[in-house]
Chain A
Amino acid sequence: MDIVCVQAVTKDYDLGQTKVHALRGIDLSIQEGEFISIAGASGSGKSTLLNLIGGLDYPTSGEIRINGECINNLHERELNRLRLNTIGFIFQSFNLIPVLNVYENIELPLLIMKGVSKRERKERVMRLIEAVGLSRQIKQRPSELSGGQRQRVAVARALVTKPRIVLADEPTANLDSVTGLEIIDLMHDINKAEGTTFIFSTHDEKIIKRADRVIYLEDGLVKKGCPGKSGETK
């Protein structure tokens, strides 16, 4: 079954007298465990698409299904639950909580997750800290970390709730090319090891090459499609 299914999705923004058509009718589907890149120039609609898939925004029309469930009409509370349990987010500018250290930033989503004991919380966080290679920075705050280290924290935070999908909006945009590739490789390793679906947006060709499948967007439309669906298999 498709873990993400997007059908005829449009998204318009009203900017006073002008209307911006960010997405003009997107169709695509993503299988569980895929490592997908959404590529396109700036303004092509990559972030908008990720926001809609992540339930951060509502489409103007069309339908988005996550794990078979249409999220268009979900109540805000149900969307919160979806974001907490099913989806992990990685942001371009890391979006870590500046006053919390590495451990606490990663632990943060677990604080509101039901059924996770304190012990399990600790185990999960420590395992991820080790996985992203930040064991020595555990007590450091984001301001004391490099860009790459910050994004590793963000990756760990996105994964700590064991989501089925991780959405990463230009996760390497604020990193140098070597660090960017390291982050993508880290995400890829986790994808292979855990089977977590990764969908990340980028316009960097080197990063794009690391993806199993690439979906190109241009002016709010999918530029090339995979057979029967949108997108292109690498």
Chain B
Amino acid sequence: MRLATLAWKNLCVEWRRALNVGSFLFFAGFFMALFTCFIGSVKTNMETAVINALAGEVRLQPAGMEKEDLFSLSGSWEEINYLTEAEMERAEKALRERINPVEVVKRVRHNVLFISDTEEVGGMILGIDPKAVSYRKALTLTAGRYLENDYEVILTETQAKNLEVQVGDTLGVLAQTKEGYTVDSALTVVGIGSVDLLNLFGYNVAYTDLRSAQELLGLTEREATDVIIYTGDKKRALETKQQLAAYFSENGLPGPTPALTTWEQTGGFIMGGINFLSILFYYFTAVLLFIISILLINIISMTVLERRRENGTLRAIGFGRMKVAWLFLQEIQLLVGFFGLLGIVAGSGVVLSLGRKPIEFGLPISYLTGRHFVFHYDPVRVFAVFCILYGVTMVVAFFPVYRVTKVQPVELLKEEK
């Protein structure tokens, strides 16, 4: 027999006692795995929404616009800047030669005035190629369809409500060109929807076709306010940005170099919000872990106290305090190794099965989850949760165990008399 056998036998023979602590560890593991995957999924989904809806992995825009925040765009027409035909040509060449993007979307962003039969509402339009794909992944339609032709617009639900229009209605649009002339146009509402995950941050942009937006800003077909580059790998954003920057510095044209920003920089305001949310979630996790720790200390204290006689006997026959403590801790280790892991495996199973298809959520949870929430399983996070649960359990178990082993053996043996 080895000493570890004693720990193992204690668990197997006294299975009810083991189940008491074990079931708690199971549920702790289960909910922690579920919770951490939920937090991770919310963050990942929001980041993906930022990339698909507005930032791409890398964004190219006119010089001096590095710090521009999409949300700070005011109605000041004079501030509008755009990429010239020469810059666009150079950018296209760079992308062709250096990068192998999944999708490149030329965009024109502009402030306009929407005019319906009954209302006039100011808003931002985002002109994109009607055949663009990525934005569709983020924009959830509640009515109509995505863009297919020129002179079409997809309004947000708020815009549609304020303007009192429906799919099929035609909107008047008033804008000012880059030269300062006023221009009007008519766009057909083909869809109503919004980027759910960015609603929390007040993202309220109407998507229209590129040609209409260019006309409203007075740009040629070859000009755009920015270019969004999708590489399919957000972790490679910085590398892509550096490759493009290197190309521009090697093949410079007269004048300033266009600005390049990664999705984290472009969505600065939103990313700050997402990070704040993450911190908030982790704070709750820490509180949850603290509560788990307190409960664990209580359960383990009771379990250890029940076994004073065994403790006293071991001490009487020559076991040192730390040896006895280690025996108890070995049991806890086996418990957290089995039940904690089992809980985490169960939690992972639930996440994986929930992740098979989107889950429908309504307000206010949809602010965090979107209307169609997709669970992402992250094995690294889950492994980290197991390590945390294991570490916390061992640390909190040590105190009651140590406290009991500190008692003189004669006191422990007296208990049973």
Whether B409 contacts A56 by the Cβ 8 Å rule is: yes
Kindly identify which residue among B9, B321, B413, B416 contacts A100, using a CB–CB cutoff of 8 Å. Answer: B9
A141 neighbours in B (Cβ, 8 Å): 13
Kindly identify which residue among A54, A92, A98, A107 contacts B316, using a CB–CB cutoff of 8 Å. Answer: A54
- Is A194 positioned at the interface, with any CB of B under 8 Å from its CB? no
Whether A84 contacts B318 by the Cβ 8 Å rule is: yes
A93 neighbours in B (Cβ, 8 Å): 416-417
Interface size on B, residues (CB 8 A): 29
Tell me the smallest distance from the CB of B66 to a CB of chain A, in Å: 66
Interface size on A, residues (CB 8 A): 33
A97 neighbours in B (Cβ, 8 Å): 6, 310, 313
- Is A81 positioned at the interface, with any CB of B under 8 Å from its CB? yes
Kindly identify which residue among A56, A112, A113, A161 contacts B413, using a CB–CB cutoff of 8 Å. Answer: A56
Residue of B nearest to A109 (CB): B317
Tell me the smallest distance from the CB of A52 to a CB of chain B, in Å: 9
- Is A200 positioned at the interface, with any CB of B under 8 Å from its CB? no
Whether B5 contacts A91 by the Cβ 8 Å rule is: no
Whether A83 contacts B10 by the Cβ 8 Å rule is: no
Whether A100 contacts B318 by the Cβ 8 Å rule is: no
Encode A70-103 as 1/0 by CB contact (under 8 A) with B: 0000001100110111001101110111111001
Given A54-B316, A56-B410: A76 in contact with B10 (beta carbons within 8 A)? no
B13 neighbours in A (Cβ, 8 Å): 98-99, 141
- Is A144 positioned at the interface, with any CB of B under 8 Å from its CB? no
Residue of B nearest to A103 (CB): B1
Whether B313 contacts A91 by the Cβ 8 Å rule is: yes
Whether A77 contacts B320 by the Cβ 8 Å rule is: yes
Tell me the smallest distance from the CB of A196 to a CB of chain B, in Å: 16
Residue of B nearest to A83 (CB): B318
Whether B14 contacts A99 by the Cβ 8 Å rule is: yes
A150 neighbours in B (Cβ, 8 Å): none
Q: How far is the CA of A44 from the CA of B409 in the complex (A)?
A: 21
Whether A111 contacts B3 by the Cβ 8 Å rule is: yes
B131 neighbours in A (Cβ, 8 Å): none
Given A83-B316, A83-B317, A109-B318: A91 in contact with B6 (beta carbons within 8 A)? no
Given A91-B313, A98-B13, A99-B9: A57 in contact with B410 (beta carbons within 8 A)? yes
- Is A104 positioned at the interface, with any CB of B under 8 Å from its CB? yes
B312 neighbours in A (Cβ, 8 Å): 95
Q: How far is the CA of A157 from the CA of B318 in the complex (A)?
A: 12
Residue of B nearest to A170 (CB): B417
Tell me the smallest distance from the CB of A104 to a CB of chain B, in Å: 5
A109 neighbours in B (Cβ, 8 Å): 317-318
- Is B309 positioned at the interface, with any CB of A under 8 Å from its CB? yes
Q: How far is the CA of A104 from the CA of B9 in the complex (A)?
A: 11
Q: How far is the CA of A57 from the CA of B12 in the complex (A)?
A: 34
Whether A85 contacts B318 by the Cβ 8 Å rule is: yes
8 Å CB contacts to A: which residues of B253-312?
309-310, 312
Q: How far is the CA of A93 from the CA of B321 in the complex (A)?
A: 22
Q: How far is the CA of A98 from the CA of B14 in the complex (A)?
A: 9
Q: How far is the CA of A113 from the CA of B416 in the complex (A)?
A: 27
Encode B5-40 as 1/0 by CB contact (under 8 A) with A: 110011011100000000000000000000000000
Q: How far is the CA of A54 from the CA of B314 in the complex (A)?
A: 14
B361 neighbours in A (Cβ, 8 Å): none
Encode A189-228 as 1/0 by CB contact (under 8 A) with B: 0000000000000000000000000000000000000000
Whether B313 contacts A95 by the Cβ 8 Å rule is: yes
Q: How far is the CA of A51 from the CA of B315 in the complex (A)?
A: 12
Whether B310 contacts A91 by the Cβ 8 Å rule is: no
Q: How far is the CA of A9 from the CA of B14 in the complex (A)?
A: 42
8 Å CB contacts to B: which residues of A97-127?
97-100, 103-104, 107-109, 111-113
Whether A108 contacts B413 by the Cβ 8 Å rule is: no
8 Å CB contacts to A: which residues of B158-182?
none
Residue of A nearest to B9 (CB): A99
Tell me the smallest distance from the CB of B224 to a CB of chain A, in Å: 76
Whether A157 contacts B6 by the Cβ 8 Å rule is: no
Given A98-B13, A99-B10: A51 in contact with B410 (beta carbons within 8 A)? yes
B319 neighbours in A (Cβ, 8 Å): 80, 112
Residue of A nearest to B319 (CB): A112
Tell me the smallest distance from the CB of B180 to a CB of chain A, in Å: 89
Whether A56 contacts B318 by the Cβ 8 Å rule is: no
Residue of B nearest to A125 (CB): B1
Tell me the smallest distance from the CB of B325 to a CB of chain A, in Å: 13
Whether B416 contacts A111 by the Cβ 8 Å rule is: no
Q: How far is the CA of A146 from the CA of B323 in the complex (A)?
A: 30
Whether B1 contacts A107 by the Cβ 8 Å rule is: yes
Tell me the smallest distance from the CB of B303 to a CB of chain A, in Å: 14
Whether A95 contacts B1 by the Cβ 8 Å rule is: no
Residue of A nearest to B317 (CB): A109
Tell me the smallest distance from the CB of A191 to a CB of chain B, in Å: 20
Kindly identify which residue among B3, B310, B408 contacts A56, using a CB–CB cutoff of 8 Å. Answer: B408
Tell me the smallest distance from the CB of A47 to a CB of chain B, in Å: 8
Most A CB contacts (10 A, CB to CB) among B312, B320, B416 go to B320
The residues of B with any CB-CB pair to A shorter than 8 Å are 1-3, 5-6, 9-10, 12-14, 309-310, 312-321, 323, 408-410, 413, 416-417
| Contacts beyond the supplied A96-B313, A99-B10, A112-B3: 17 A-B pairs with Cβ under 8 Å | A56-B413, A57-B408, A57-B410, A84-B318, A85-B318, A88-B317, A91-B313, A91-B316, A91-B413, A93-B417, A95-B312, A95-B313, A97-B313, A98-B13, A100-B6, A104-B1, A112-B318
The residues of A with any CB-CB pair to B shorter than 8 Å are 51, 54, 56-57, 76-77, 80-81, 83-85, 88-89, 91-93, 95-100, 103-104, 107-109, 111-113, 141, 157, 161
Can you report 10 residue pairs joining A to B where beta carbons are below 8 Å apart? Answer: A51-B410, A56-B316, A56-B409, A89-B317, A95-B416, A99-B10, A104-B1, A104-B9, A112-B319, A141-B13
